[in-house]
Amino acid sequence: MNYNIAVLEGDGIGPEICAGAVCVLKKTGEKFGHRFNFTYHPIGGRAIDEYGIPLPEKTVKACLESDSVLLGAVGGYKWDDLPADKRPEKGLLELRKAMNLYSNIRPAKLWKNLADASPLKYELVKNGIEIIIVRELTGGIYFGERTRGNKNGDEYASDTEKYSVHEIERITKVACELAMKRAKKLVSVDKANVLETSRLWRRTVRAYCEKHYPEIELCDVLVDNMAMQMVKDPAQFDVVVTSNLFGDILSDEAAQITGSIGMLASSSLGETKRGLYEPIHGSAPDIAGQDVANPVATILAAAMMLRDSFNLNEEYSAIETAVQDVLDENYRTADIMSQGKIKVGCTKMAQMIADKI
Ligand code: NAD
């Protein structure tokens, strides 16, 4: 089979980690008899430098014409002082919107052998962790009306959170389908004791679950409690559904519990099979260009693309097993390094994983 993949490397470590994922995909293609065609398109800071905007129209067109999209990361010091609507991150928000990707699935998995990379006590993580955060991606405060002004010399700013029943129901459906394939347990996170949008969220999630997925054990948790519970007893969670803002923050917390954000991938999907696959981390400008970044998150994002966009389950498993094999042989990038292990760079790590396929 032929698959056309749009690669948006972005900024910082983006080109390095995408090169690693492309190397692994090419090897997977050779091994399983597929042809992956890669085309490269600008986004983020690089696009601002070249085209004056973070998401050129031709990048959107290329993504919509591709079978799926692999993204590195966007952003960097150089563009930090630009106004919000001109920053690299705006390109990513616009792309998610243009592709109508309303669900973001972020598995936070603690890999075997990496328990020592977790900042939590061994006792809390020894049996492994896999928290799958399903985050609403195209609504909420990141897309609400915003203002800035000055009243009597006092500068102010505001952001608005807005959700509709339709938006909440469709993300709840994604989370319920996932929960049904797993332990049939779902946690919905909100701030219903304070926010009106959260009260609508809670009522809608509960009604939807009761009507369509009565087998699922649903539990509502306030976001502040959730943040505490995740460090107190992370193994109690399986599938978690939440809003754009809370999901953004909690998924980074979950990532940190697993040891390194360099190991975690995410997928964003809408109504079609065409998705956006990316690592959960940013462009890490502090280590860009040094060949020290961990490429595993992007490699696993590419693997998720094979499984969730192209239905290539065996190929997905082959990549996941290759990652585990390289970890079992004690190779580590700097972010997951510990005593007695062998430190390797980004290119070498990706090559070793490709060689295991
Ligand atoms: P970051 O994720 O880029 O980096 C946080 C820390 O983790 C840094 O110390 C970094 O070196 C390290 N790190 C991240 N990825 C790593 C990897 N693969 N291997 C090893 N170490 C890794 O977050 P930040 O520093 O807050 O943001 C940097 C830039 O990235 C900002 O401009 C931010 O807006 C942007 N950003 C982009 C995305 C995205 O493109 N999806 C997401 C988050 C942040």
Residue range 289-348, pLDDT digits in tens: 999 999 999 999 999 999 989 999 999 999 999 999 999 999 999 999 988 999 999 999
Question: How many Å apart are CA 262 and CA 280, to the nearest integer?
Answer: 8
Question: What separation, in Å, do the N-terminal and C-terminal C-alpha atoms of the chain show?
Answer: 18
Question: How many Å apart are CA 338 and CA 26, to the nearest integer?
Answer: 30
Dihedral of the CA atoms 63, 65, 68, 73 (nearest 10)? -10
Q: Among the atoms of ligand 1, which is closest to the Cα of residue 14?
A: 40
Question: How many Å apart are CA 47 and CA 14, to the nearest integer?
Answer: 13
**Nearest C-alpha to atom 12 of ligand 1 is from which residue?**
284
Which residue do the tokens 């075997």 mark? 112
Residues with Cβ within 6 A of ligand 1?
13, 17, 73-76, 89, 92, 261-262, 278, 281-287, 293-294, 297, 335
**Nearest C-alpha to atom 31 of ligand 1 is from which residue?**
75
State both tokens at 224.
Answer: 């502040």
The count of other CB atoms within 10 Å of the CB of residue 152 is 4
pLDDT at 260 over 80: no
Tell me which DSSP letter residue 296 carries. Answer: H
The CA distances from residue 29 to 42, 87, 113, in Å, are 25, 36, 28
**Average pLDDT value for residue range 29-55:** 97
Percent of the chain scoring above 70 in pLDDT:
100
156: enclosing H helix or E strand: strand 154-159
**Average pLDDT value for residue range 209-230:** 98
- At 86 the pLDDT is 87
The CA distances from residue 265 to 35, 72, 128, in Å, are 23, 11, 17
Q: Among the atoms of ligand 1, which is closest to the Cα of residue 296?
A: 18
Residues 6+ apart with CB under 8 A from 142: 93, 244, 245, 248
The CA distances from residue 267 to 28, 135, 284, 329, in Å, are 19, 10, 20, 28
Q: What separation in Å is there between the alpha carbon of 102 and the centre of ligand 1?
A: 22
pLDDT at 114 over 90: no
Residues identified as active-site: 142, 191, 224, 248, 252
Of 126-130, 161-165, 314-318, minimum mean pLDDT range: 126-130
Side chain identity, residue 10: G
Helix 165-181 and helix 196-212, axial crossing angle in degrees, nearest 10: 50
- At 279 the pLDDT is 95
Give 115's pLDDT tier (boundaries 50, 70, 90). Answer: confident
Tell me which DSSP letter residue 141 carries. Answer: G
What secondary structure does DSSP assign to 65-124, as a single string? Answer: HSSEEEEEE---GGGTTS-GGGSHHHHHHHHHHHTT--EEEEEEE--TT-GGGSSS-HHH
Q: What separation in Å is there between the alpha carbon of 253 and the centre of ligand 1?
A: 14
Question: How many Å apart are CA 235 and CA 220, to the nearest integer?
Answer: 17
Question: How many Å apart are CA 149 and CA 265, to the nearest integer?
Answer: 38
pLDDT in tens, 262-283: 999 999 999 899 999 999 899 9
Exposed, middle or buried: residue 98 (CB in 10 Å: 0-12, 13-18, 19+)?
middle
